[in-house]
Chain A
Amino acid sequence: MSDPQTAPASPRRTGLRFGLWARGPSRWHVALTVVFLALLSVAPLWVEASGRGYLVTVLTRVVIFGLAAMSLDFVMGYGGMVSLGHATFLGAGAYTAGALTYHSLDGSRLLGIPGTDQALVTWPLATVVGALLGLVIGGLSLRTKGVYFIMATLAFNQMIYFLFNALEIYGGDDGVGLFAARRAIGPIDASDDMVFYYVCFAVLVVFTVILNLVVRAPFGRVVRGCRSNMARMAALGYQTYRYRLAAFALSAAITSLAGAMAVTESQFLSPSFAEWTESGELLIMVIVGGLGSLIGGVIGAGALFLLEELSIDITDNWQFFVGIGLLAIVLGAPRGLTGTLLGGRRSHD
């Protein structure tokens, strides 16, 4: 007990008030997160300087879909809830922000509310809509287990997808362009791709910090315990359903925010945001990046978009090469890219 290695009972007061600067094995994970975010902070400057400025929008998509994948990893890698329906929330966020923007363009009203293309309004609203939808869908889906949970989330995904398809006002299954809209984030005019990238990057940083705090907090421990052994959690006195539902809603809210950011980025609203293959793509990002690491979702998004971009240059049959690339990663790095980089070190306290 007196061995200093086994007795970190009295926590040291470090400079940081919150415990992000983890001690012990997970500091490697924190270091990896910081390094990757640092890379992302300079990446657009680098691609622009090297004369490939068109890649800035690709990087923006990495950041946005990385945020969605990260929030999926939160429920999947930490909560053990494999959702094949996160495109539901991506779509919900996209349609919340997109619809408001659409109505601001033609001056009409949405349920009596005037539209707006101000992201300070549309993005938070999309987040709230995502949380509420997450409570409903999670509330019902979490009554099932295992494969049935996967199927339940997929079923809701399909329902929402066909609902969006039926919204003739927003172009039905064709979708609708919103190119005349501003990209305004508060006083910031983000019509410039570079400016918009850094806005999205800032959002990603904020939620990376928040989610990393959450998984180390008492709430996160309960969520992780539920993944490990739900029956035991109940026997310890936890009302597991509540905690899992809260985690699911939090994840849905963040994914929905990413959906709103994505529609602001592409300025095109269509049901493809909510297509179930999009759910699958988020799953792939998480698995490629490394389950249960948070930053792995962003790394996975980076790997996927990079593979896409590289193979589109080479051939029209780019999906074939993306497939090969993914196989190589899954076979060569069975714990995902982060798992390989960290050599199996723990990614939380």
Chain B
Amino acid sequence: MTELSCQGLQKAFGGLVVTDDLALSVASGEIHALIGPNGAGKTTALAQLSGELRPDAGTVWLDGADITDLSLPQRVHAGVARSYQISSVFRDFTARENVELALQAMDRHSFRFFRPAARNAKRIERAEALLDQVGLGEEATVSAQRLSHGQTRQLEIAMAMASDPQVLLLDEPMAGMAPDEASRLAELVRSLAEAVAVLLVEHDMDVVFSVADRISVLHQGSLIASGDPDQIRADPDVHRLYLRDDVES
């Protein structure tokens, strides 16, 4: 059982407080969704958990170990992987090479100068298995720039999974997806969460309320509510500040 948690997280850009005394936790086997209006600080919070941004104050723990000082690449090796809101795959690589590159990052180092990367049969096999898992098996040798938007999002997930993470931080994985694509991806995330802790930042409330085990609502950098979907649905503060009629039905 793995748990990523933070306490007292604080971040300001100049006078603008974007994260205010934030405490969160996500454990393996659960999907914890982080929601909130635009500018609530969701992506900034994620960036501090992943190691891209240093908090001004506060602590991040992975399984009780303080990882606040670990950089982004170091946290990946510790077991925390993330995906991006704006797809950022390697456009001049094929889908499979994208995943291979993600797998290669788990080698102790890549200062290997002579043996061609394209000859690593074991890695290629692993990459294809990951692509199959996210439903991209058929597109393995397609150049990443030729993939559809939805396929690119799937590739993002495969790359994040390549490090065999214990914690997966997903930043709006369903953004811009057609409803049927989104629900298939939601299923995938659900199945991943059986073994992995998933922190999900997502705007699509239908998805959030159907897949999340726990939901935390962020407003102006601080949490205003946290609980299971039913509690959040019933929370008057959340309604007033954020949900309004989004989930009336």
Contacts and interface: CB of A to CB of B under 8 A. Distances in A.
Interface in B75-96: 76-77, 81-82, 84, 88-93
Contacts of A228: 90-93
A225 B113 contact: no
B1 interface: no
Given A228-B92, A236-B163, A222 B50 contact: no
A308 to B, nearest CB: 34
A169 interface: no
Interface stretch (A6-14, A125-133, A276-284): A6-14
Given A11-B121, A221-B101, A228-B91, A236 B159 contact: yes
Nearest to B132: A1
A317 interface: no
B225 interface: no
B119 A9 contact: no
A349 B118 contact: yes
A1 B84 contact: no
Contacts of B163: 236-237
B145 to A, nearest CB: 11
Given A228-B90, A237-B77, A18 B137 contact: no
A18 B114 contact: yes
Nearest to B159: A236
A234 B72 contact: yes
B90 A219 contact: no
A9 B138 contact: no
Interface in B100-151: 100-102, 104-107, 110-121, 124-125, 128, 132, 137-138, 140-141
B114 A246 contact: no
A8 B137 CA distance: 13
Contacts of B115: 18-19, 217-218
Interface in A193-240: 213-214, 216-222, 224-225, 228-229, 231-240
A169 to B, nearest CB: 38
B227 interface: no
Given A221-B104, A229-B88, A238-B105, A9 B124 contact: yes
Given A1-B128, A239-B73, A214 B114 contact: yes
Given A234-B73, A236-B102, A218 B107 contact: yes
Contacts of A220: 113, 117
Interface residues of B, number: 47
| Interface size class, chain A | 35 or more
A237 B73 contact: yes
A4 to B, nearest CB: 11
A219 B162 CA distance: 18
A218 B115 CA distance: 8
Contact of B110 (A8, A219, A232, A346): A219
Q: Which of A5, A229, A234, A235 has the most CB of B within 10 A?
A: A235
B201 to A, nearest CB: 15
A219 B113 contact: yes
Contacts of A229: 88-90
Nearest to B91: A228
A9 B90 contact: no
Interface of A: 1, 5-11, 18-19, 22-23, 213-214, 216-222, 224-225, 228-229, 231-240, 243, 246, 346, 349
13 contacts: A217-B114, A218-B117, A221-B97, A221-B101, A221-B104, A221-B110, A225-B101, A229-B90, A236-B73, A236-B76, A236-B162, A237-B77, A239-B73
Given A6-B138, A19-B116, A236-B73, 19 more contacts: A9-B121, A9-B125, A10-B121, A11-B118, A216-B116, A222-B104, A224-B92, A225-B93, A225-B101, A229-B88, A232-B84, A232-B88, A232-B89, A234-B52, A234-B73, A235-B52, A236-B162, A237-B76, A238-B73
